[in-house]
Structure 1
Amino acid sequence: MQVMEPVQMALPVTLPDDETFASYFGGENSLEVSHLKSAFDSLATTFQYTYLCGLGDSGKSHLLYATCIHAQERGLSTMLLSMREVIDFGPMVLDGLDALDVLCIDDVHLVAGNDAWEKALFNFFNRFNEPGKCLVVTADLLPDMLNISLPDLESRLKWGTTFQIRSMSDDDKAEALVKRANMRGLELSDECARFLLTRLSRDMRALLDVLDKLDHASMAAQRKLTIPFIKSTLQL
């Protein structure tokens, strides 16, 4: 089999380059992060498969991105496949991906009831199931709650280690914003973080986009992040 060079994520959206295990809101020592990192230690001799499920802002996509970064740091070929973005292109999207070392699939629940995709994913599982391969998928619910039509695919989705991840509370989001800002060398007070949560969308991805905008504005103006500065920058 031809060895592929590490590839860039296949998500068409812009993700922060600091979405690593270290910046995960659950912490580097959380069970899910510890498991994903340790999976690489035995990858040479076993097939590693992990199923992550949770609703809303649970950080599932963050964990997939962090897994891909971790794989690239080890020189492994990797890709993150967002079902939300590729499902309309059809199952041929999976062609050739079994040559990768690590594949992360986001929002696999979206294939439920789609016969072509269900069969294609089942066949992909069978091809990818060999030592040296790592597969991580996310969904909003446990496999037996997804209304998968193909029993064999539902069985495959139950193969590996499963983690149910709780959604982030407002306290979690505020803490995550402060932590992410600190990792960028940006000082964001708890008061400012909570102000953002009360005045803007609570969607974590949207909040991180706002933090990126504030970071650039703060650098350009040589100003610290204060509530008046945030109001002015975001025209609140």
Structure 2
Amino acid sequence: MQLEPMQMALPVTLPDDETFSAYFGGEESLEVNHLKATLENRNDDFQFTYLCGLADSGKSHLLYATCIAAQELGLSTMLLSLREVISFGPEVLDGLESLDVLCIDDVHLVAGVDIWEKALFNFFNRFNEKGKCLVVTADLLPDMLHINLPDLESRLKWGTTFQIRSMSDDDKAEALVKRANMRGLELTDECARFLLTRLSRDMRALLDILDRLDHASMAAQRKLTIPFIKATLKL
């Protein structure tokens, strides 16, 4: 039985602060301007974008932001994290062609898996219609993924490709300060760098920590200082 896409639970929760304006590369970066244009001009032709980058490049953030922007335009959309749904099999793609905008994260995880490759190729063909927008991410370029199905590799080369550099520690510190400011939370550069030296450098983990600190700061009516951070996180 084919699943209705809007009846399926989102594989991930869309963070309300992972918007284009919060993207560390800048709201006026080439990739952000391109993604905005694909949503605005999607009635012209099928729009396909391939975002390539290693961990902490911000490519998943761009998928969240694309879905949020699509929702604001009243479009039906979904973010499909292959890391989250790969165990359910390629049947998760059934029915998603009815969406206006689909974002698929971590395509590289199914490269070399024949059943997934065939399903992605077939879905690509079903979704390839005027008014549709598809954005996918992977860690490498299509011809470096070791895809077994040549037709799928060819499809992944169709659209506009962006290679996104990984975030440096300076980028991460700046992103943490910016994200805190968006929440009305004051995080000094010194505190941001303290978090980077004492905790995981994974940006998603750092943002989860920032969320904890935000709640703790509000509850205690305290500013974020290094002693307060140490006490809250038991460092």
User: Same fold, TM exceeding 0.5?
Assistant: yes
Q: Does 1:227 align with 2:226?
A: yes
Amino acid at match of 1:10: L
In the alignment, the residues of structure 1 paired with residue 92 and residue 14 of structure 2 have an alpha-carbon distance, to the nearest angstrom, of 21
1:97 corresponds in structure 2 to 96
Amino acid at match of 2:211: D
Amino acid at match of 1:54: G
> Which whole-Å deviations, capped at 9, do the CAs of 1:110-162 have from their partners, x for residues lacking one?
11111111001001111100111000000000000000000000000000000
Secondary structure, in 3 states, of the residue corresponding to 2:19?
coil
1:148 corresponds in structure 2 to 147
In the alignment, the residues of structure 2 paired with residue 226 and residue 138 of structure 1 have an alpha-carbon distance, to the nearest angstrom, of 37
Identity %: 82
Q: How much does 1:88 deviate?
A: 1.5
Amino acid at match of 1:188: L
> Which whole-Å deviations, capped at 9, do the CAs of 1:73-117 have from their partners, x for residues lacking one?
000000000111111111111000000000000000111111111
Secondary structure, in 3 states, of the residue corresponding to 1:76?
coil
Assess if the C-alpha contact under 8 Å between 1:20 and 1:66 holds in 2.
Answer: yes
Assess if the C-alpha contact under 8 Å between 2:169 and 2:196 holds in 1.
Answer: yes
1:172 corresponds in structure 2 to 171
Amino acid at match of 1:211: L
Secondary structure, in 3 states, of the residue corresponding to 1:72?
helix
Secondary structure, in 3 states, of the residue corresponding to 1:55?
coil
2:70 corresponds in structure 1 to 71
Q: Normalized against structure 1, the TM-score is what?
A: 0.95
Amino acid at match of 1:185: G
Q: How much does 1:16 deviate?
A: 3.0
Q: Does 1:206 align with 2:205?
A: yes
Q: How much does 1:15 deviate?
A: 5.1
Assess if the C-alpha contact under 8 Å between 1:46 and 1:131 holds in 2.
Answer: yes
Secondary structure, in 3 states, of the residue corresponding to 1:22?
helix
Task: Could you list the structure 1 runs, at least 4 aligned residues long, displaced by more than 4 angstroms after superposition.
Answer: 4-9
Structure 1 unaligned segments of length 5 or more: list them.
none
How many residues align? The count is 232
Q: How much does 1:61 deviate?
A: 0.6
Alpha-carbon spacing, 1:215–1:69, altered in 2? closer, same or farther (3 Å): same
How big is the alpha-carbon RMSD for the aligned residues of Structure 1 and Structure 2? 1.5
Q: Normalized against structure 2, the TM-score is what?
A: 0.96
Assess if the C-alpha contact under 8 Å between 2:108 and 2:139 holds in 1.
Answer: yes
Assess if the C-alpha contact under 8 Å between 2:173 and 2:196 holds in 1.
Answer: yes
1:107 corresponds in structure 2 to 106
Q: Does 1:37 align with 2:36?
A: yes
> Which whole-Å deviations, capped at 9, do the CAs of 1:171-221 have from their partners, x for residues lacking one?
000000000000000000000000000000000000000000000000000
Assess if the C-alpha contact under 8 Å between 2:15 and 2:64 holds in 1.
Answer: no
State how 1:113-124 maps to structure 2 within 5 Å: 113-124=112-123
In the alignment, the residues of structure 2 paired with residue 109 and residue 195 of structure 1 have an alpha-carbon distance, to the nearest angstrom, of 33
In the alignment, the residues of structure 2 paired with residue 6 and residue 36 of structure 1 have an alpha-carbon distance, to the nearest angstrom, of 23
2:11 corresponds in structure 1 to 11
Alpha-carbon spacing, 1:103–1:169, altered in 2? closer, same or farther (3 Å): same
Q: How much does 1:41 deviate?
A: 1.9
In the alignment, the residues of structure 2 paired with residue 229 and residue 16 of structure 1 have an alpha-carbon distance, to the nearest angstrom, of 25
Assess if the C-alpha contact under 8 Å between 2:14 and 2:68 holds in 1.
Answer: no
